[in-house]
Amino acid sequence: MAKWSSDILLDLLLQYLEDNVDRISVCTSQPTTYAEATTNAGAGGYKLAISSTPTFTGPVDDTSGRKTTIDQESTITVDVSGTALHVALAKSTGSVLLYVTTCTSQALTSGNTVTIPAWKVNVPDPT
């Protein structure tokens, strides 16, 4: 018997991200809590830079499921010098960490800016 899921069900996860994420941060290590993702590196957290204006495009069809694109976030001020290794999506209401991914390792310098290129979150069709 084949497996199947409505796009409506797959879109629920993606739409939740779009409706609730209001913080995108660049981090030195993989955060496991909202505080780690939003507190400066060296001060109890892993954050090097943060924006409160993330935008999304989607959900839309992908080759094997559904996706939403986290749009490019340009010229975010770097708060703390360090090496960027992760990007985190969070919801400030309730202080909830929602999604973490890796990024290309890059040395960032306090006072400069960083751009997070567009990237996507996929929800695959059942197999």
Answer whether 85's CB lies under 8 Å from 108's CB.
no
- List residues bridging with 82 in a β-sheet: 108
* pLDDT digits 0-9 by tens, 88-121: 999 999 999 999 999 999 999 999 999 999 999 9
3-state secondary structure 45-99: ECEEEEECCCCEEEEEEECCEEEEEECCEEEEEECCCEEEEEEEEEECCCCEEEE
Report pTM.
0.94
* pLDDT digits 0-9 by tens, 38-74: 999 999 999 999 999 999 999 999 988 999 999 999 9
